[in-house]
Amino acid sequence: MASGFFALLDDIGALMDDVAAMSKITTKKTAGILGDDLAVNAEKASGFVSSRELPVLWAITKGSFLNKLIILPIAFLLSAFLPWGVTVVLILGGVYLAFEGAEKIYEIFVPHKETIVTELKTQELSESDILELEKKKVKSAIITDFILSVEIVIIALGTVVGEDILFQIMVVSIVAIIATIGVYGIVALIVRMDDFGLRLIRLGKGKGVLNFFGNFLVQALPKVIKALSVIGTIALLLVAGGIFAHNIDFFHHILESWPSMIREFLIGLAVGFLALLVFKLVMWVVGMIRG
């Protein structure tokens, strides 16, 4: 009995070693998408009132965990019984990401009236109005996270395809948890840069190394957020273009001699503006019907 128990423990230990090793490999393979995920979500999580940054970020993080709980079982079921369904979901998600990236570029030249009003009247909003705007932005962030989470899960699942289902579940689940904690942990550090900088300034009492680094962090935050907005938009298009290039033969053979990053960006941009055009046409038709 004792020998059987210890043999079981040995098997469990070996399994966990294999899971840990494969999780490390899988995490490396998803590093690119995790970088894109960080850029996109940092941009999404920024722009809130300082006192609301961490509560809002926590709300997005909880939404991200919920996304993973929804995606993981569906991904395992699709992989087992309907493999082509995974690709379809991935492509649809890519269209959404491309659309959102293209819309951001479009809004640089043709801002939404809602955006203009928000920029002009933010100071006049009541607390309930600000909370409502936060809810909308959190919802948008969670939707985007859902699409990126699908990409992460599918890539992770692809590295353990053919393995035992329990092994797949353990490896992909670990990667999903690491992705969520890692991405939003870093985002939290970014959005609190200025507060940390102010503390350093107070500790330095207006002089010395602490004061220098404190001022640097405070002054750097707006630039970092602005840069993340640009990087986030590029990341959306890169992720989308990568999805199309790797899952649709037509796009796979377009501009093959070009660097993959430029090629995927252009593919994502083209599909994004096409999706945006279709969306605008549909909205125009709906508007005409409604009168």
9 pLDDT higher than 80: no
The pLDDT mean for the chain works out to 76
Please state the rounded mean pLDDT for residues 137-164.
Answer: 79
Q: Is the pLDDT of residue 63 over 70?
A: yes
pLDDT at residue 277 is higher than 90? yes
67 band by pLDDT with thresholds 50, 70 and 90: very high
Q: Look at residue 120 and tell me whether its pLDDT is greater than 90.
A: no
Does the pLDDT value for residue 269 go beyond 90? yes
Domain span at residue 44 reads 22-193+228-290
What DSSP string runs through 140-209? HHHHHHHHHHHHHHHHHHHHSTTS-HHHHHHHHHHHHHHHHHHHHHHHHHHHTHHHHHHHHHHHHTTSHH
Position 187 in a domain = yes
Identify the three-state secondary structure at position 251: helix
In angstroms, the CA 45 to CA 187 distance is 8
* Distance between CA atoms of residues 271 and 275, nearest Å: 6
Is 213 within a domain? no
Q: How many CB atoms lie within 10 A of CB 103?
A: 18
Q: Express as a percent the part of the chain with pLDDT over 70.
A: 74
Domain membership of residue 4 (yes or no) is no
Do the beta carbons of residue 201 and residue 218 sit within 8 Å? yes
- 57 inside domain: yes
Q: Does the residue 151 lie in any domain? A: yes
CB-based burial of residue 197 (10 Å sphere; 0-12 exposed, 13-18 middle, 19+ buried)?
buried
The helix-helix angle for 260-290 and 208-247 (nearest 10°) equals 80
Nearest by Cα to 276 from 104, 99, 110, 97: 99
pLDDT band at 12 (very low <50, low <70, confident <90, very high): very low
Read off the pLDDT of residues 187-230 as tens digits, 9 standing for 90 and up: 888 877 877 888 888 887 777 788 888 888 888 877 877 777 78
Angle between helices 208-247 and 127-159 (to 10 degrees): 60
Question: Comparing 80 with 98, which gets the higher pLDDT?
Answer: 98
Residue 180 domain-assigned (yes or no): yes
More confident residue, 159 or 7: 159
Rg (Cα) of the chain, in Å, rounded? 22
Report the pLDDT value the prediction gives residue 222, as an integer from 0 to 100: 76
**pLDDT of 19 higher than 60:** no
Range 80-95 average pLDDT = 81
Looking at per-residue pLDDT, the higher value among 3 and 279 belongs to: 279
| Residue 237 lies inside a defined structural domain of this protein | yes
Of 248, 199, 224, 241, nearest to 88 by C-alpha is: 248
Average pLDDT over residues 5-22: 42
End-to-end CA separation in angstroms for the chain = 79
**If you average pLDDT over residues 171-190, what whole number do you get?**
84
- Spatial distance between the Cα atoms of 152 and 254, rounded to a whole number of angstroms: 24
Banded model confidence at residue 46, pLDDT cuts 50, 70, 90: low
The rounded distance, in Å, linking the Cα atoms of 215 and 123 is 26
DSSP 8-state assignment for residue 257: T
For residue 268, what pLDDT is reported? Answer: 92
Higher local confidence (pLDDT), 83 or 272: 272
Average pLDDT over every residue of 18-40: 54
Number of structural domains the chain divides into: 1
Would residue 212 count as lying in a domain? Answer: no
pLDDT at 146: 87
Q: Is the pLDDT of residue 234 over 90?
A: no
Structure tokens at 84: 């082509």
CA atoms within 13 A of residue 286's CA, in its CB half-sphere: 6
CB atoms within 10 A of CB 239: 25
pTM of the model: 0.69
Query: Do 240 and 261 contact (CB within 8 A), yes or no?
Result: no
pLDDT at res. 275: 94
Closest-CA residue to 221 (of 192, 200, 201): 192
pLDDT at 59 over 90: no
Residue type at 173 in one-letter notation:
S
- C-alpha span between 243 and 284 (Å, rounded): 29
